[in-house]
Structure formats: structure tokens, C-alpha cells
Amino acid sequence: MTRVSIHIAAFFAMFFWGISYVWSKVVFEYYTPLTTIFVRLIISFLLLFLFMYFTGSFQKVRQKDIWVFALGALFNPFLYFVGESYGLQRVSASVSAFIVATIPVFTPFLAFAFLRERLSKQNFIGLLISFFGVFFIIFKSDLTPAASPLGVSLLLLAVFSAIIYAIILKKLVANYHPVSIIAWQEVIGALYFLPFFLYRDATSFLRVRPSVNAALSLVMLGVFASALAYVLYTYVLKQLGVNKTNIYINLIPVFATITAFFVLDEVFTPLNIAGMTLVIFGVVLSQMNGLKKKKQKPAG
């Protein structure tokens, strides 16, 4: 991929993920988050396996990598979608997206723990500023919750699951095609969700008659948010690495907020706007001169 195409791929991945918050809200009027996640994963991996079949790009998982795929799928799609979807059910689409936008702030801390990369002062300052921003988003001026504490906690689960997943993903991108990685991880993720779906939602799923808009939104989630966006993200991560790729996540709340304003008629208080501004500022600050690779000692 050329340098320009890498950035275009990142842009469209974030664009689809930003709109996905609104698509999910539309689908939740008819289906539970569990059903929504399970169906979008089925749509996604069927599409990706068909693509691999017709293009002759099918790849089997090596036996030594099975545990890496299984662990990666545990964090994303399983834990990430549990946190994002159930959090989104309790928090507005735009606020959810801004909380997810803290991923680039936390990424260097886990990258330090797993990859032994140094942290700058700006990472710490950016983290504190973003925390204040989230505080303004989830609380009113009288300190009563403006957003569901459980919803925010679930979204933070999604944040940390996404970061750990990206670190695990680095172990796979050198040996597997991005389409193969996402297809296999979504098969495993669907298997994680299957017993819960059969126990809780299978019967009610068959009885629901969704609107055309909800059905289309569910298909869009499967095709664009679960298949195409993840493949594009994996391409970009392979080229740019975890930290530079996750900076693009700053774009998600922008797309989500604009779409939610026009489609869902969401409104914002001055405190919400101040909080969102602080989140963005903290994220940007945390990435300025952010990570410093640990200097290796000279041999001998």
C-alpha cells in the first residue's frame, strides 16, 4: 500500500466505525445488543469467507497460532462488543464515541507494559485532561450522573479490550492476510457468543419483525463496521503499528457526533461540549512527542 492509501484506509475505517454507533442505536429499537452483535458477526465472516473463496486467498490457522487467535477474539470481538454494545444501550451514541476516543491515551500505557516502550510526560498530562473531559461528559453541573455509570464502565471495558486486542493483533499481521485474520477472529467470536444467543435471544429473534431501516442498519453493521472497517484497520496497523494507527480513533467521535445530530436528533449541553473538547485535546496532547522507544544498550 502507498502512504496515501494507508491514510485513506484509516479514514474510512474510522468513518464506518463512527456511523456504526448510529446504526446500532437504530437496530437496538428491535433487537438486543447480544442479537445485534451475533448477527453482525455472522454477516461479516460469511462475507469475508466468500471473498477468500472466490479470490483464492483462503488461509488456514497454524496450530501454534490457534491460542493467539482465540485470545485475540476473546478481547475483540467478544469483550469489546459486550462493552461497546451494552454501554451504547445506556449512553448516547456521541458520548459513547468520545469515551472510545480515549483509546489513544491509554494505548501507550499498555504498550509500555507489553512492549517496554517509554512514556512521556505528555502521555500522563493527556490522560489527566481526558479524564476530566470524560468527567464533564458523564456528570451534570450538580455532580449528578448525566450518563449511566454502568454504561460508562462498559464502554471503558471496550476501550481496554480494543487496546489489548491491537497488541495481540501485532503478533498475527506478519504471517496472515488481514482478511484471513478478521474472518477467523469473527468466527471464533461468534462461537463465544453462540451459547448466550441460544439461551437468551434465539426464540425472540425469530419473532421480531424489524423495520426496513433497522434491517438495513444491521446489514451495514455486518458489512461495513464488522468486515470492511476491521480489514482496513488491520492493513493500517500492519503498516503503521499500534500507536500511530490508534491515533486515527480520534476521528470516530467526530463522525458519530455529526451523524447522531442529524439522524438521532441528539443535543448537547455546554458541559458536554466542554468535556468533549477536553477529551480531544487530551488525546492530541498525549500523542505529541508521545512514545519514545526504549534505547537499547550497545552490545559488549
Total domains in the chain come to: 1
Which residue is listed with cell 505528555?
Answer: 122
What pLDDT score was predicted for residue 68? Answer: 95
Per the structure block, which three cell numbers stand in for 43? Answer: 454477516
Q: How far is CA 288 from the centre of its chain?
A: 22
Q: Is residue 292 part of a domain?
A: no
Q: Is residue 53 part of a domain?
A: yes
Quick check: 127 pLDDT over 80?
no
* Residue 136 CA neighbour count, 13 Å, CB half: 19
Q: Is residue 10 part of a domain?
A: yes
What pLDDT score was predicted for residue 109? Answer: 74
Q: Is residue 299 part of a domain?
A: no
Q: Is residue 298 part of a domain?
A: no
Distance between CA atoms of residues 59 and 50, nearest Å: 13
Average pLDDT for 250-274? 80
Q: Is residue 184 part of a domain?
A: yes
CB contact set of 112 (below 8 Å; sequence gap of 6+): 118, 119
Predicted structure pTM score? 0.82
Q: Is residue 293 part of a domain?
A: no
At 17-63, the pLDDT tens digits run 999 999 999 999 999 999 999 999 999 999 999 999 999 989 999 99
Distance between CA atoms of residues 226 and 213, nearest Å: 18
C-alpha angle with apex 95: 186 to 23, nearest 5 degrees?
A: 45
CB contact set of 209 (below 8 Å; sequence gap of 6+): none
> Which residues span the domain enclosing 138?
3-287
